[in-house]
Structure 1
């Protein structure tokens, strides 16, 4: 058999490529074949040649013993392990790992029948032993690497969810602390605007904890508590919460009047958290004793825009493209997690909106939330899934 394999090596490889190409969404690539069919074919040939010459020790060193001893390392085992890892990196499935070696066995059998090449029973046993050991090692490594990859992905997702939760808890707690300090030092009535900020912050903390407990007990779908609310009241709540931080940092917050009657439908608390995040971010970056402005208005395109503008001096090159990526921190204060803008964008997008940033060189930047206006005639006239025109 070893002479047959040497003489027909190229033909066998081409037949394996053809078999792979006939499967859905598959194609034989140089990367896939590097530790696969060609190398295995070479090792199989060497094994058969060693046995034909009576060198049984060399045969087992190349291909391994029947049944695959876990403590013994063979050439086929090493290359098959690398091949299994490689196929995982290329996005293949477990059954495709097995098929890669089965293709060669089928190609050898078919070509031998076509050319009337007689093989002995011992040669077929050696072929099956080599295939069995190669498949076992490739599948074992493929499964181990896949499980490791899945574990890492799960861990990364868990850290991301924990980071989001901690960030939102911290923001609500910080706002509540500012409100409490203002109430104590200014002897303000608890029923006033500052008291309302404190109550909303505590309510947000309670909601975050309750939802976290629900997810621990049993994973749930995203919250569905959408509501229709006034844009003017929404902006007022955000500005009241942000004003406390503005005063603490020595900045000023200018809020333009909002046209009455404009409404939004969505998850109010997450959207409010997104807007407060933008304002807090603006206060962090704006230059000392400068102004942060908040302007909300409805456009003729059926969308509501909420702009937060600061005086940070402008953005560095490339900042716009990376602004909303998680764990990106541009401020010298690294006490946060770098998740504020990422969470804000996710909250806005969850209600069909967008969050973007525009650089104003030499002056600052403008963050803009855009959300569909509730009750817009064009919104009512559109069919499901139809885009705004």
Structure 2
């Protein structure tokens, strides 16, 4: 097989390139199609040469030992590790890493059959040993590098989020501090415009911290604390804080009557965060002096909580994108763009669904859809 591989090296590489091209994504560069094949082929030829002309044991320095286990240093191992790393950098998947080596094995056996070249048992064992060691090392390194890259991306994403959070927190604190300083001078009162600025800054701080805590719980996959509670009491609690925010934002909040027998089995804090975020967005993007509606009711075996705003409607394609993190849709780009993303994760953690329905020219309705429960004669059930 040693002489056969040397004589047909170019043909084997060409066949491998053809196989890779059939799997490759459109536009993949030519050098990526033949990546790594030549190195392994040359090392296989070297292994066969050593085993043919020199002490067989010395070939292990080139190809490594058989049988797996703790890997020993070898030329194939070192180059396969580099190969796995480079394939990741070129955008290959782990499946393609394995297929690359399989392509060469298939090309060798096909061409040997076509040309009547006999492959001895020992030579075939050498081929399998080289393939096993190369695939194992390449896949291991690919996985390690993939984890390393993902860890780096996650760290970058975390730093970005912390940067946004710190920036927003600083702005709100500066605004609140400045307003308080002016009020302390005694020239303006708490009920005036400066008091309104302080109110908005403090509400913004509370909302920012609340969203961040909910995001931490969802991201950390913390245990959801389910318990059964009255839907009417839940909506009444939200109404208290939302009424103040509506006043600050210059909107009218309308809250529908809730059936006192309806109950929700959920993590109350996460659901408060999700509903609060929806109301904050509604106040933020609704036109001045327009109405924001909070409506909670049952439909068959579901409980639905609707938040309807008067933002004027959604632009094309916005409904699919607006739940992504750091997405800002309206003209007001204050905030982190995390509210809807956190709301969806919080609702889903409670086995619910968060959706949006566009009302062209008017606004949109966000709906939290949860399993229905009931209060029977004042007892949770």
Which TM-score band applies after superposition, normalised by the shorter structure?
0.5 to 0.7
Counting only pairs closer than 5 Å after superposition, residues 346-365 of structure 1 correspond to structure 2 as 346-365=345-364
Q: 1:323, CA displacement in angstroms?
A: 1.6
Does residue 90 in structure 1 map to residue 92 in structure 2?
A: yes
Instruction: Check the 8 A contact 2:94/2:139 in 1, yes or no.
Output: no
Q: 1:364, CA displacement in angstroms?
A: 0.8
Q: What is the CA–CA distance in structure 1 between the aligned matches of 2:362 and 2:313, rounded to whole Å?
A: 5
Q: 1:87, CA displacement in angstroms?
A: 5.7
Q: What is the CA–CA distance in structure 2 between the aligned matches of 1:342 and 1:117, rounded to whole Å?
A: 60
Q: 1:324, CA displacement in angstroms?
A: 0.6
Counting only pairs closer than 5 Å after superposition, residues 80-159 of structure 1 correspond to structure 2 as 84-86=85-87, 89-92=91-94, 96=98, 103=105, 115=117, 142=142, 145-156=145-156, 158-159=158-159
SS at match of 2:94: coil
Counting only pairs closer than 5 Å after superposition, residues 281-300 of structure 1 correspond to structure 2 as 281-299=281-299
Instruction: Check the 8 A contact 2:347/2:368 in 1, yes or no.
Output: yes
Q: Deviations over 1:264-309 (max 9, x none)?
A: 011001101110110110001101111101111011x210011111
Q: What is the CA–CA distance in structure 2 between the aligned matches of 1:258 and 1:156, rounded to whole Å?
A: 44
Q: 1:39, CA displacement in angstroms?
A: 4.0
TM-score (norm 1): 0.59
Match of 1:228 in 2: 228
Q: 1:91, CA displacement in angstroms?
A: 2.0
Cα 1:93/1:319, change in 2 over 3 Å: closer
Off by >6 Å, runs of 4+ in structure 1: 13-17, 41-47, 77-80, 108-111, 134-141, 163-170
Q: What is the CA–CA distance in structure 2 between the aligned matches of 1:228 and 1:318, rounded to whole Å?
A: 37
SS at match of 1:316: coil
Q: 1:320, CA displacement in angstroms?
A: 0.8
Gaps of 5+ in 2: 47-61, 64-77, 121-126, 184-188, 192-202, 377-381
SS at match of 2:341: helix
Counting only pairs closer than 5 Å after superposition, residues 66-77 of structure 1 correspond to structure 2 as none
Q: What is the CA–CA distance in structure 2 between the aligned matches of 1:312 and 1:94, rounded to whole Å?
A: 48
Which moves more between the two structures, 153-162 or 353-362?
153-162
Count of aligned pairs between the two proteins: 312
Q: What is the CA–CA distance in structure 2 between the aligned matches of 1:342 and 1:185, rounded to whole Å?
A: 35
Cα 1:240/1:168, change in 2 over 3 Å: farther
Cα 1:298/1:42, change in 2 over 3 Å: closer
Q: 1:340, CA displacement in angstroms?
A: 0.0
Instruction: Check the 8 A contact 1:37/1:104 in 2, yes or no.
Output: no
- When the two chains are superposed, the root-mean-square deviation of aligned CA atoms in Å is 5.8
Q: What is the CA–CA distance in structure 1 between the aligned matches of 2:45 and 2:101, rounded to whole Å?
A: 23
Match of 1:268 in 2: 268
Q: What is the CA–CA distance in structure 2 between the aligned matches of 1:268 and 1:115, rounded to whole Å?
A: 73
Cα 1:245/1:90, change in 2 over 3 Å: same
Instruction: Check the 8 A contact 1:232/1:262 in 2, yes or no.
Output: yes
Match of 1:249 in 2: 249
Gaps of 5+ in 1: 21-25, 48-65, 68-76, 119-126, 187-197, 378-389
Instruction: Check the 8 A contact 1:265/1:374 in 2, yes or no.
Output: yes
Instruction: Check the 8 A contact 2:5/2:45 in 1, yes or no.
Output: no
Match of 2:379 in 1: none
Q: 1:314, CA displacement in angstroms?
A: 0.9
Q: 1:154, CA displacement in angstroms?
A: 3.2
Instruction: Check the 8 A contact 1:354/1:370 in 2, yes or no.
Output: yes
Cα 1:266/1:167, change in 2 over 3 Å: farther
Cα 1:370/1:309, change in 2 over 3 Å: same
